Chains A and B, each alone.
Chain A
């Protein structure tokens, strides 16, 4: 959106990590590949300005001449002048308007694309701490919107040079014509800047308030869309509308106040310029009539140069706040890119051929926040190929355990050994292919069912037969083929088209396709009804063969089948063994079984 005089730019007060100079240096790195083009553009601007300098002067000169000259061959001169001027018109348009615009848009679009790709790639390498601490919406805004702001700033900077040239050359002519008039007209320039400064301050306040109301309106909108089922089932539509009207009204007031500043600014600036003109005329007539110092036509040229001076000057005055906005955008962009990942690829990554899948935690410490430790001196050995069930209350650390095994986070103390090798020494991409995770929220991408399942081995390009086999094993064929488009059915955003249970099965097939050595099921089967779960149990038993399987579940049937049950409470192992052994102990597991699992039992 166009903002006048730099007033109304985003004035977010982000804490500055980088200095202006550092940011500018980083920016230049992205522009460097295009420096030839920029140099060419600069040349064009200089040529264009040069071409543009004389005409106003000539115009006044010719007007004066026309009154005194009336020889016939002045027509020839006139004809030539017209012709030259037409040519100049075209050249200045072609160079100054067309060519410059094309070069600018090409350069800044390419730069902006480079930055976006860079950001995206860096984000792919960030570890989970980054995603825990940054909201999705903010990340998106950085990659898509801040790069746009930056692009606008760049475009501005390129134009800046041309504008400065114009201002300087016009000022030069002003002084050339009459230094006294020049001084008078330039004297109002500081007043102009001052007014813009005042306006910026006023706008800042209205902007802040406006942003708040906008956020509220957006949130209300978003909720009404996502919560439509609930609204309908409670028949809340009318009430919601009434509430929304209030929010909307607040936004209206804030918007109106904000817009008022713009409505008043241009007229004031125009009035000022009129005053300058008046001053010039008043003094000018004195110079012309009394002092006979310049001709009227030249005075007219003067006014033309004045116009040519003030217009680019306002663009230049814009510069500071535009530059600030650009810096702020850069700050946010680089802030996202330059983040230290905890989980790093080792310098000499190890790949274990014929991985068996033995996992050992040795004195592991871990926390998300330093004052809330999850594991302290935690040790656990899981033999290769065993089926382990992790049991315990919410927050005991089961999910964390799974995340650590997958190396989504780094241990703070102690180590995790895979087949005897420290996890941190293993090649990360290779290792991740050996581990498959089925999460509780069954996230699907928008796309076909087949695409989603294929994702299990996306690096590998699995065949349709392999995909089909995985689907068959989890007994999902039935419902997939019930869709008119079958495997090619588009599941929509986040898999909206499928029911929770169906999504689960797909994520299951996906994990199956990945054929991992270590399988982690994080409360996966809990979201599925008993009937489906029964089917999955069968499939589970098949796929858990020949792998180390770690299941975090609350379902008795899953747990009963495990080779080892590990019960965790507040980051410590309280009991370990298989189902019968633990029941005999009549300890904590027994208690859990009695109060909870037993409800699921048949008898």
Chain B
């Protein structure tokens, strides 16, 4: 890989401006130019030496190809001359039986030689062009991957996974095809045209006039064809995607559909989309059929031939020249037919490039400050100071559209509290009150709109993202495990090589060792799509082991999902108890045992903190708290002594 870096740097210097300085988390990415066309060209000329060789090779190859009709023409002239007894024949004799006319043999040998050289050059050109294309595909995919990794959380909330996947796989492949065979064929077509014109003009300028006459029509019909085709092609692709999405939902949601007898509705819905797809494909096909260039070429050839024959009759031209002209013009059929397909490829390629670029260019809203410092060893004191936040502001477009304050519907309003190092803070509240959001802000998955969040006195916006996040561990509501082994999932956050013993240690602390060993492959068991499906409780324990290993000072536990049985519950309690020691913990839970243990309970409602305190205190004084837990017993009336933020 290293030798490529050198070329890449040179290319970068030639074709782009200087690469931007890398900050710790900003991954290596090439600067993206405005137009997708320019970007494509840059991709092709990533290796300029190869690209130029390809072009030169094509030039030579076409020259050789066009030389053959010329030689053929001369050969036929000789044939005619001998046949009409205008010239005498000179013979070679082989094996006393085979007679070959000398001059004709020379022409035949020449054709063979040219054919062979052409063969070799074509192969080289083909291989190089292929390399260019594959290399470009690889680079683009890597850039895309890096770009997606770089994106902020807001991106992943609204991005459709399917769309992104389609861009990363299908679009990238299309761009590959645009380079090979696309680029090669375009170059071939262009050079063919030039050589053809040159050759015909040299042979017989009057025939050239016919060619020149048709040429503009050729170009115009080609352009109009391409212009009309492009939106139709896009429509088909879009509609195909829509049908795909419908189908996917239909299959994923089959339980719901059957449960509510929605089959008839689904059939109607899908039917509509599929009908539209059919009509779109037909429209596109009809436009593809309206391809005039071959017809124009045929006209050109007929007229050129007619004129040539006239010239033969009046003695201005000989038969051989007519054959040459014909032979050269016929060479143009290949590119004529290919051009429509190549244009199609290029359109798709540009469309794909456009989509990819759009995704890559999407603004990162979480930007690390250039002078961000590393967060040092922390104690874990967390302070929220008058924090307000709204999801609406998180998208670039929204930033431009929704600037009015009255439309500002914050998810969090004026949140203030302090968590001392080592404290367990339980966060409660109804669905949608902002609990999860509050915790997401801590790791800077989003930035606050107003106020600030401080860790050990540092505003989290002033520290590097990497150092911030390394100190915060998250066990989320829906645990995401990667499709790899249990071992690798547990070691996911590790910065160094982790020994098997360590992993087992953490797994034991997380009460996961037992069930892991119950699998045939133990820690090497694959989980995820290609492996075993773990239950919620098992996933949670692996996540706990993962957190143990990463050993963050601050832990966020979103524990609302608890569809597990009692035995597992007991184990998780044990594991959690271990985990919560010596860390500052934010926990979203409804397990009463855990809540009772909390040093601080925060009750939220509609984005605000409505009560703060410990369990007994809140039971006495907070209406909202009693709503949660006081249902089963009769409680004495609320004591109106003021505690923090009741209602």
Contact = CB atoms under 8 A, between A and B. Distances in A.
A and B associate in one complex: yes
B540 interface: no
A393 B565 contact: yes
Contact of A112 (B278, B431, B470): B278
Given A437-B255, A534-B628, A277 B111 contact: yes
A202 interface: no
Interface in A187-243: 214, 217-238, 240-241
Contacts of B435: 529
Interface string A515-549: 00000000100111111111101000000000000
B16 interface: no
Interface string B194-226: 000000000000000000000000000000000
A458 to B, nearest CB: 5
A348 interface: no
Nearest to A591: B566
A18 interface: no
Contact of A234 (B153, B164, B493): B493
Given A63-B323, A278-B108, A296-B76, A236 B254 contact: no
Given A224-B148, A531-B429, A121 B260 contact: no
Q: What range describes how many residues of B lie at the interface?
A: 35 or more
Interface centre among B133, B274, B298, B566 (most CB of A within 10 A): B566
Interface string A361-380: 00000000000000000000
Interface in B476-517: 476-478, 480, 482-483, 492-493
Interface stretch (B6-14, B33-41, B124-132, B450-458): B124-132
A218 B173 CA distance: 12
B313 interface: yes
Interface string B91-110: 00000001111001100100
Interface in B432-490: 432-433, 435-436, 443, 445, 465-466, 469-470, 472-474, 476-478, 480, 482-483
Contacts of A144: 240, 243-244, 247
Contacts of B238: none
A102 B289 CA distance: 6
B617 interface: no
Interface stretch (B45-53, B79-87, B415-423): B79-87
Contact of A278 (B89, B112, B341): B112
Interface centre among B79, B161, B631 (most CB of A within 10 A): B79
A259 interface: yes
Given A143-B247, A278-B108, A289-B82, A230 B492 contact: yes
B378 interface: no
B249 interface: yes
Contacts, number: 469
A432 interface: yes
A504 B560 CA distance: 12
B319 A252 contact: no
Interface string A492-505: 11101101111011
Nearest to B275: A113
B249 A82 contact: no
A240 B181 CA distance: 32
Given A437-B259, A529-B560, A531-B627, A259 B168 contact: no
B573 interface: yes
A282 interface: yes
B362 interface: no
A459 B563 contact: no
Contact of A259 (B180, B264, B289): B180
B179 to A, nearest CB: 11
B577 to A, nearest CB: 12
Contact of B285 (A70, A109, A237, A277): A109
A295 interface: yes
A105 B305 contact: no
B639 interface: no
Interface stretch (A86-94, A321-329, A412-420): A86-94
A469 interface: no
B606 A446 contact: no
B627 A534 contact: yes
Interface centre among B108, B407, B529 (most CB of A within 10 A): B108
A157 to B, nearest CB: 16
Given A109-B282, A445-B253, A98 B289 contact: yes
A110 B628 contact: no
Contact of B430 (A432, A437, A531): A531
Contacts of B137: 252, 255
B259 A436 contact: yes
B162 to A, nearest CB: 8
A125 B568 CA distance: 38
A526 B159 contact: no
A222 B161 contact: yes
A537 to B, nearest CB: 7
A59 interface: yes
Given A110-B278, A455-B262, A499 B75 contact: no
A89 B329 CA distance: 15
B30 interface: no
A286 B100 contact: yes
9 contacts: A82-B303, A229-B156, A234-B550, A237-B27, A241-B27, A263-B127, A437-B255, A529-B430, A554-B562
Q: Which 9 A-B pairs have the closest CB atoms?
A: A105-B285, A596-B566, A263-B126, A501-B431, A530-B590, A101-B289, A274-B115, A479-B432, A89-B298
